Amino acid sequence: MAKAKKTENTQGFDTYVRWFWMLFSAGILFVILVFSLASWGVFGELPDHTQLENTDTNLATEIISSDGKTLGKFYLNDNRTPIGFDELPKHLVDALIATEDARYYEHSGIDLRGTLRAIFKLGQGGGASTISQQLAKQLFHGEGSKNTLGRLTQKIKEWIIAIRLERQYTKEEIIAQYFNIYDFGNNADGIRSASRIYFGKEPKDLDIKESAMLVGMFKNSSLYNPRPNKNPTGVKNRRNVVLAQMEKYDYITEQVKDSLQKTELDLNYNPESHREGIATYFRTYLDGFMKDWIKNNPKPDGTKWSLYNDGLKVYTTIDSRMQQYAEDAVQQHMPRLQSEFFNQNTPSRNPTAPFLELDQSEIDALMNRSMKQSERWRKMKYDLGKSDAEIKASFYKPTQMSIFSWKGEIDTIMKPIDSMRYYKSFLHTGLMSMDPQTGHVKAWVGGINYRHFQYDHVKTGKRQVGSTFKPFVYSAAIDQLHLSPCDMLPRSQITIEAGKYGNPESWSPKNSDGDYGGFMTLKDALANSVNTITARVMDKVGPQPVVDLVKKLGVESEVLAVPSIALGTADLSVYEMVGAYATFANKGVYTKPVMVTTIVDKNDTVLYQFTPETRDVLSEETAYVTVKLMEGVTQSGSGARLRTSGAEAYRADYREVITGYPYQFTNPIAGKTGTTQNQSDGWFMGMVPNLVTGVWVGAEDRAAHFRTITYGQGAAMALPMWGIYMKSCYADKDLNVSLADFDVPVDLSINVDCTNASAENADGTKVKDDVPDDLDF
């Protein structure tokens, strides 16, 4: 009986064992079946090996300076620029592994221990997702389903993709992809953007606590957003958790952890947007350049490149250091000049401020034209379908707005029509700097503040150039007539009759000082902007040869072949003027300005390589003699304030406006100031052997200008920015900006040494070399 009972118990136990193995096998088979079904796409499509090799992520186009710095990016939604594992600091990787996946190097995509722990503890003991699974989710599934079945099938698909990723990539490549794909908020897509935006540095330069903060954001980049004043306590606490994890897994010592946890976040917040950062006006020009290039250069498969998603790299000629120095020069000089302009245009001093010479009806007409040209008018008319009367009425209704000032943005309530008039009171500027030998543009500042004033005054804007046109006239005469800078001509008045050269009416230019007696060398005449002598030179050579010359010098704008162009009546751009002047510094060879050297795709395959465009325009001798003429401008003429001499001649308040004076340059500098009628435009073109820089200053409307020549001349409006910029360039020895003389041609046959030749009055006495006002009209 006992034996039968024992046999029965044994059979019962065997039955349980069989059932256990049957259920276990069935479970294994079920898991295999589920995974097989998932891998076959029953629960939704999975990426194949081709997709895994070429993950579909949006990559921003990166704009790179000649010195290897990122100037900005083109992107729509994803400001992402991928980097390799070797560009990640070790402590950043350590922080990620310690916090997100401590056994990362021990598994093949799925952490079984973590998964079982999560199952038995119902997720209370920590998550089970590995870095590979999280990457799979980021790349192919996003947020996922909200119901239980959906979450389960999604998790299965993540496991499968994670395993495939582990087979496809090395552990290091997976980590790099994870850092590159994550959205850190505030347009910080990927670790490179996050590092630049939150700390102003490249990832390789991150320290331990910075790395810990960024890794802490993987938990929830929205909740732990380090943007100033958003959640500093939460972000700091989360960073400290990461530091604790690093200490737990022996990546840092307890002492290091304790010391770092006491520190502040020390953010260096630098938002990256199309309206922020360095070289904003240049980047806008580049946007148009790239769109034209994309239109004419399809991919090998015939489709179009995407400027915003394909991860192109655009290598430019801009030097980030020189660009910064140029922008700093604008920031130093323009607020002071603007302050004086506002001072002269108070209601008591100028009831029609900021306009001069206009009556009320003319001002009303000007404002009405500006209204119809405004973005506000365009949107209301074409986007909202409002009538002209409704739109005009809206300009007279007070509105909440943020307006520009040199002391920062001002939140105020103002009528749009008043804000338009306020903005017309501002002086604007354009500055471009270029290497004359290579044509490489080194700096490009198109205005005073891109957020509020987006019109580019380097290439798009064109204004009368005043006396800066005169060297073209002298150069044509030197080329044709072999004139010397030391040749003398009378300052007496000259009239070019109507009909001569096709001139519609007679032309009799005047000198600003009203002096028409005696003789003057061509060098002194150019230095002191003597209009009558320039007119005589023009009469000797004729307008058409001058127009032909400026066209060869790269000027594409219309220049009428009439005598008055000698005094700069033509409207030209800073871009055209710099390119033309560079020909003189480059020994008579015109080199077209270059802004882009190379374009490559995300795999660094070269798509575009620029080809220099050059042409011989002048003989080396003619170019050199013209340069020597322009050296006189900075030796004894309107540009002499670049030197130390004559400092006592200027009032203290005037020196305050011409920022940085005295500039104390002692090296050879060729240049020319320019001032147009009524002081509407101020120019300075300055050259040393390996750098040519042009600066323009003026208001949006020519009716807004300084009342007198004291502040309204090129030497006060534009020259100071050149001086500040060049002082910074010279201080940076790595730039190698030349201090040397311009090269003398081997076969120089024209006398350029005017030591014994100087201006004479009508009675034969020498003219005293004072620094005169620069006025051309």
Task: Please give the angle made by the CA atoms of 62, 206 and 225, to the nearest 5 degrees.
Answer: 80
pLDDT tens per residue, range 482-516: 999 999 999 999 999 988 888 888 999 998 888 89
CB contact at 8 A, 684 and 719: yes
CB contact at 8 A, 354 and 423: no
Q: Which of 575, 585, 582, 584 shows the shortest CA–CA distance to 555?
A: 575
Task: Give residue 132's Cα distance to chain centre.
Answer: 38
pLDDT tens per residue, range 127-138: 558 888 888 887
Return the DSSP state at 211.
H
**CA 104 vs CA 91, 97, 155, 211, 437: distances in Å:** 15, 7, 18, 18, 55
User: What average pLDDT does this structure show over 209-235?
Assistant: 90
Mean residue pLDDT across the chain? 87
DSSP string, 65-123: -TTS-EEEEE-SS--B----GGGS-HHHHHHHHHHH-TTGGGSSS--HHHHHHHHHTTT
Percent of the chain with pLDDT over 70: 84
User: What average pLDDT does this structure show over 240-265?
Assistant: 95
Q: Does 185 score more than 70 pLDDT?
A: yes
pLDDT value at position 522?
95
User: What is the band of 40 on the pLDDT scale with cuts at 50, 70, 90?
Assistant: very low
Q: Does 767 score more than 70 pLDDT?
A: no
Q: Rank 646-655, 663-672, 747-756 by mean pLDDT and report only the highest.
A: 663-672
Task: Please give the angle made by the CA atoms of 168, 171 and 174, to the nearest 5 degrees.
Answer: 70
Q: Does 679 score more than 90 pLDDT?
A: yes
Q: Does 78 score more than 80 pLDDT?
A: yes
User: What average pLDDT does this structure show over 163-180?
Assistant: 88
Distant-in-sequence, close-in-space partners of 515: CB < 8 Å, separation ≥ 6: 491
Q: Does 603 score more than 70 pLDDT?
A: yes
The interaxial angle of helices 620-636 and 470-481, nearest 10 deg, is 140
Q: Does 650 score more than 90 pLDDT?
A: no
The better pLDDT of the pair 770, 707 is held by 707
How far apart are the C-alpha atoms of 203 and 207, rounded to whole Å? 9
The interaxial angle of helices 470-481 and 543-552, nearest 10 deg, is 110
How far apart are the C-alpha atoms of 465 and 348, rounded to whole Å? 32
User: What average pLDDT does this structure show over 689-705?
Assistant: 97
User: What is the band of 43 on the pLDDT scale with cuts at 50, 70, 90?
Assistant: very low
How far apart are the C-alpha atoms of 64 and 317, rounded to whole Å? 9
Q: Does 48 score more than 60 pLDDT?
A: no
- Cβ count near 494 (within 10 Å): 20
pTM, entire model: 0.86
